[in-house]
Structure formats: C-alpha cells, structure tokens
Structure 1
Amino acid sequence: MRSSNPVLNSLTNSGKRTQQGAGAPYAGYGQAPQTIRSSERPMTVDDVVTKTGMTLGVIVVFALVNFAIYEFINPGLALILTAVGAIGGLITVLVATFGKKMDSAPVTLIYAAFEGLFVGGISLIFSGWTIGNSNAATMIGQAVLGTVGVFLGMLFVYKTGAVKVTPKFNRILTGCLVGVLVLVVGNLLFALITGNSPLRDGGPLAIIFSLVCIGLAAMSFLQDFDVADRAIRAGAPAKAAWGIALGLAVTLVWLYTEILRLLSYFQNR
C-alpha cells in the first residue's frame, strides 16, 4: 500500500530489492501481510518505539543547541543554522527517498540533527522570541503539547479502527498533499513578485490554510502507523525501523511547525 509520505513510500517499495544472502525481498510489506525471510531478526514494536524515540531525542537536543546559540553566543549564527537545518533536512530526505537509504541509521540521525536546528530556530521566529515576546515560551509549550496530543489521538484512532487506511484513503490524502504543495509554491512565487503572502500573512485565509495543513498532517499519521503495522506483521528486518522513525519524524516536524505558525497568528492579533 502506497504512502503519501515520500520516505515511507520509498520504504514500502523496497521489496523490489533483495536482502543480501536472503534470497527473498524483505519489504513487500507495503502490500498484504506476509512472512519475509531474512538473515536479520524481524522488526518489533519496540524497535519502532526505540528508533523513533532516539530520532526525536536528537531533534530536541539540537533544537536546544540552537536555542542556546541564540541566547548566549550569536543570534545571527542561530538564524543561519536554522536555514542550514531546513536545507540539510530537505536534502537528507531526498537522499533517503531516492538513494534508497530509508533504513539507514546514520541518514535518519543526520536528518534529526538538521531538523533539530531548524525546529529550534523556527520556534524562536514563530513564537516571537526574537522580538522579545514574553509569551514565546508558553506558545512553544502549547505547540509541543498540541503535537503530542494529535499524535496520540491519531494513534488511538488507528488502533480502534475508527478510520481505515485503504487505497482510496491514500489516493485522496496524496491528492490533497499535492494540492497543498502546489499552493505553497504558488504562494511563494506570488510573495516574491508582489510582496504579499495571502496563505502566510496571518489573515483569515492563512488561518484556514494552516488548519488544513494540520488536518492533513494528522491524517498522514494514519498512513505512517499503517506502514509500521504492516512491516511488523510482514516480518521486515529490524533496521527498517529507522525508515519508519524517519517518516514519523517528518510528519511530526511538519505538524509542530504548522501548529506553532497557527498560534503565532492569534498572538499577533
């Protein structure tokens, strides 16, 4: 089953490869559950939880590092590192997706380091920390709690089967995500030409757009959980947990960023 998350979609397509010395592909698990022969032990829920926890831990550490650089060393350097983190994170995801490195621990942890720098810097900017907003820490805390709440809520929805991840669901969600991407690119070009950014200026349209992005990020978790569930039931090797951790981290960072952006709109009113 295809996923709209590029990392996890690449992971589910890795069944076209053959495990060294195994004689059978290890990851046809994007489709129907099956038993997969591999020289490596099968992945478990604990593997996914552990690898995801390590990935998020690295993100938090590097976010705090960028915070510290801004506060105690050089604000300008922190902002530069924020841009480096954004670009580096994007490049790492592209390497993981198109370079077939989605089950690589170094790639996942490098992504986490880059995204940590980005998350730390973007939190400073969106919360108004850089302009002395006294409520900045509260906003960041609210965004973190909101992200955790949405994640746990969607996990509950998935486990209870309230929403089924079907091929039709995936097609609709993927279409919506492509539409959002087109709108983001179009808004960027419009802003460069006119100086106006209607989808990011804090107005009613920007609020609606952020709510749509938050909703799509939440729905994306269902796909992420489904890929992880199928991988475990199919007996994918333990190292595949790094790819699932990377996919979950991509969604979590997107969700956190959109929630913080939305909160900043109301702060500025």
Structure 2
Amino acid sequence: MRSSNPVMNSLSGAKGGAQRGAYQAGYPQQGYQDPYAGYGRPVAPTDDRPMTVDDVVSKTGMTLGVIILLALVNFGISLFNPGLAMLLTVVGAIGGLITVLVGTFGKKYGSAAVTLIYAAFEGLFVGGISVIFSGAVVGESDAGALIGQAILGTVGVFLGMLFVYKTGAVKVTPKFNRILTGALVGVLVLALGNLLLALFTGANPLRDGGMLAIIFSLVCIGLAALSFLTDFDAADKMIRAGAPSKMAWGVALGLAVTLVWLYTEILRLLSYFRGD
C-alpha cells in the first residue's frame, strides 16, 4: 500500500490490522457477541476497532473545520493588523511543515494531536496566504470572489477525483505511484531552485505571473489532483485491511496536506489572471 503522499505512505506501513478474520489478535471481531465473554476470554478493547469510512469522514471533517476556523481568524486579523497577520502566516507555514515532518518520520501514526496541531498551523497559513493572493489587505473589491472561486475549484477537484477513483477510470497501481512520486519530487526541486534564485538574484520565473509561472501552477494543480487518487487508494486499503480506527486521523492529515496545496495553487493561478 504505497502512496505518493508521504503521510499516507508512512501510514500504510504502520502495523496492526492487516488481514483481520473473525477474530483479531485473540479478540472477537467488533460487533460479534462472544458467548464466552466473561469466562476467561478477553473482549476487544474499544479503542482498537477497525477503521471505517465514517471514521475517515468525521476525522477529516474535524481537521478541515479547524483549518477553516483559524484561516478566518487570521484573515480577520489582517484587516486590522496586517503585520501581525503576516507573522502568523509565517508561523503557520513553518509550524505546519514541522508538524508534517514529525507525523511522517516520527512514527506518529494516527495521532489526533499531530493532525489537529497541523490543522491549526495550516489554518493560520491559509488565512494569510489568501489575503496575499487575493489582495484583500489593500482593499481589492473582488478579493472575496477570488477566494470563493478558489474554494469552489478545490472542492470541485476533490469531488471529481473521488468520482474518478470510485468508478475506476484511473487505476492506482505501484507504477502509477512511482511515476507520481517522481513528478512530485521534480516539482519540489524546481520550487526550491526557484526560491534560491529569487533570494540571490531577484528573478522569480516560476512565480512571477508569466506564462512559465502559469504552466508551473497548472502542473502543480494536476499533480495535487492525481495525489488524491493515491490518498483515496491508501485509505481504502487500510479500511479493507482492518487498520485500527485511530489511523483515520492519519488519513485526515494526508488529505488535508493535499487539499491545502491544491487550494493554494488554484488561488495563486487565479491571482495571475487578475494581474496580481
């Protein structure tokens, strides 16, 4: 169960839950009423039940709720104190990155704390970056419309890729994941190179709003959309394998990472066409 999303990839390598039968590790399966319970046979602990689709939906919903709430808070702060809002945006970006690294490489599989802390940091980042790209802080009248379009675009891509996955129009295979992972690494290298170029020379070809920047944003949006397929596939396989329910927090983290990236790229692309 490999995925191009590093969060999902680490989750799929977590132990505990593969190939559960009628009994799991000596415990009766959830929902099965063991007639011998209380006569020496232990019952399954309630916090180790198999993960379900409802778990994924509820945990993802809570994660997105925290992101939206903190984004609105930072957006509101920007209207009265732009300097503080920009500081919170930087804190959110750095904090979100550190939290993802901790969750991915620190073996924090299915940690609610890690996921919600990431959501809080990313909420601050999303709120601030929305102000920057939409021009709301300088009184642009169509800033709200631009943000609304980016949100609709993000939701539309998410639902579209969910439909593509459920219908099997695109098969998620190991080869597909390897190709997508390679493309994501390539984009990351280009982005870092462009950042260094901007810092040392002032040139910013991949983010200056020109034709090359538009193409780069379209590529990023396409890769983010395809990443949803690997996210859905990894989550589906974990559910089928009977992974513990707490792993739904890890699935929520992986989906949130992709959603934030997609929203940011769509908003950036829209700002290009507006000339900002």
- Per the TM superposition, whether the score is higher than 0.5 is yes
Q: Distance in 2 between matches of 1:211 and 1:199?
A: 11
1:64 to 44, 64, 72: 72
> In the alignment, does 2:236 pair up with 1:229?
yes
Unpaired runs of 5+ residues, structure 2, are 26-44
Q: Distance in 2 between matches of 1:102 and 1:124?
A: 33
> In the alignment, does 2:205 pair up with 1:206?
no
Q: Which moved more, 1:52-61 or 1:183-192?
A: 183-192
Provide, for residues 36-86 of structure 1, a one-character-per-residue CA deviation record: whole Å limited to 9, x for no partner.
7364111110000000000000000000110121124x2110110000000
Q: What number of residue pairs does the alignment pair up? A: 253
How much does 1:102 deviate?
3.1
1:35 to 3, 14, 20: 20
In the alignment, which residue of structure 2 is the partner of 1:261?
Answer: 268
> In the alignment, does 2:117 pair up with 1:110?
yes
Tell whether the 8 Å contact from 2:79 to 2:137 is kept in structure 1 after alignment.
Answer: no
Letter in 2 for 1:208: I
Q: Distance in 2 between matches of 1:180 and 1:68?
A: 32
**Partner SS for 2:50:** coil
Structure showing greater Rg: 2
Tell whether the 8 Å contact from 1:102 to 1:246 is kept in structure 2 after alignment.
Answer: no
> In the alignment, does 2:85 pair up with 1:78?
yes
**Partner SS for 1:239:** helix
In the alignment, which residue of structure 1 is the partner of 2:199?
Answer: 192
In the alignment, which residue of structure 2 is the partner of 1:54?
Answer: 62
Cα RMSD, aligned residues only: 1.1
Q: Distance in 2 between matches of 1:228 and 1:14?
A: 12
Q: Distance in 1 between matches of 2:82 and 2:209?
A: 25
Letter in 2 for 1:152: L
How much does 1:35 deviate?
2.2
Unpaired runs of 5+ residues, structure 1, are 16-24, 29-33
Provide, for residues 197-217 of structure 1, a one-character-per-residue CA deviation record: whole Å limited to 9, x for no partner.
000000000000000000000
Q: Distance in 2 between matches of 1:184 and 1:102?
A: 28
Q: Which moved more, 1:112-121 or 1:183-192?
A: 183-192
Letter in 1 for 2:222: G
In the alignment, which residue of structure 1 is the partner of 2:9?
Answer: 9
Provide, for residues 216-249 of structure 1, a one-character-per-residue CA deviation record: whole Å limited to 9, x for no partner.
0000000000011001111111100000000000
What's the TM-score once normalised by structure 2's chain length?
0.89
In the alignment, which residue of structure 2 is the partner of 1:31?
Answer: none
Q: Distance in 2 between matches of 1:42 and 1:3?
A: 21
Letter in 2 for 1:228: A
How much does 1:148 deviate?
0.1
2:257 to 225, 237, 250: 250
**Dislocated runs of 4+, deviation >4 Å:** none
Q: Distance in 2 between matches of 1:113 and 1:170?
A: 29
Q: Distance in 2 between matches of 1:134 and 1:68?
A: 16
